[in-house]
């Protein structure tokens, strides 16, 4: 094991875990709703211009990206995949003319994904130093 694993303080580690948990509390239920397909989800898909048949595939994709993010060894890849997924959600809301309050949510989730990972992963801190 490398010595870089020891450079994360307990406060930063737990802060990163907390920040990382927040988007997971939104993404996991969102994926579950795409599997269950309640009427509200179907109405949302129609309003956003997507066929109902995409719900299952998007739910699987959302769950897979989240699972990759949850595994410490693959968390950076998971953050990249979630960034793409959330970017698509942002673009969809902008495309249909949703108000700012709707399309900013996936942006905030993406910031939380990367912020939590930055706090708990010394490799990312070394790659993106905020201090000189």
Using N-to-C axis directions, what is the helix angle for 54-70 and 10-36, rounded to 10°? 160
Q: How many CB atoms sit inside 10 A of residue 114's CB?
A: 19
CA atoms of 36 and 119, how far apart (whole Å): 34
Q: Cα dihedral angle (117, 76, 70, 111), rounded to 10 degrees?
A: 40
For the chain, which residues make up each domain, given as ranges?
9-127
Question: What are the φ and ψ backbone dihedral angles of 57, each rounded to 5 degrees?
Answer: -60, -40
Closest to 20 in 3D by CA, of 122, 117, 128:
117
Average pLDDT, rounded, for the chain: 92
Task: Using alpha carbons, list the distances in angstroms from residue 83 to 50, 57, 99, 114.
Answer: 20, 17, 21, 9
With a CB cutoff of 8 Å and minimum separation 6, the contacts of 7 are 122, 125
The pLDDT tens digits of the residues spanning 52-89 come to 999 999 999 999 999 999 999 999 999 999 999 999 99
The pLDDT tens digits of the residues spanning 7-28 come to 789 999 999 999 999 999 999 9
Q: Does the pLDDT of residue 1 top 60, yes or no?
A: no
């Amino acid at each position: 094991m490398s010595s870089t694993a020891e450079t994360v303080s307990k406060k930063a580690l737990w802060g990163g875990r907390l920040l990382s948990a927040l988007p997971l509390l939104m993404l996991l239920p969102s994926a579950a709703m795409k599997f269950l397909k309640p009427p509200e989800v179907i109405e949302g898909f129609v309003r956003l211009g997507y066929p109902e048949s995409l719900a299952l595939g998007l739910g699987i994709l959302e769950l897979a990206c989240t699972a990759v993010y949850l595994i410490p060894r693959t968390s950076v890849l998971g953050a990249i995949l979630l960034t793409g997924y959330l970017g698509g959600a942002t673009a969809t809301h902008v495309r249909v003319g949703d108000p700012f309050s709707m399309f900013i949510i996936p942006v905030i989730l993406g910031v939380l994904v990367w912020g939590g990972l930055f706090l708990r992963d010394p490799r990312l801190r070394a790659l993106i130093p905020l201090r000189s």
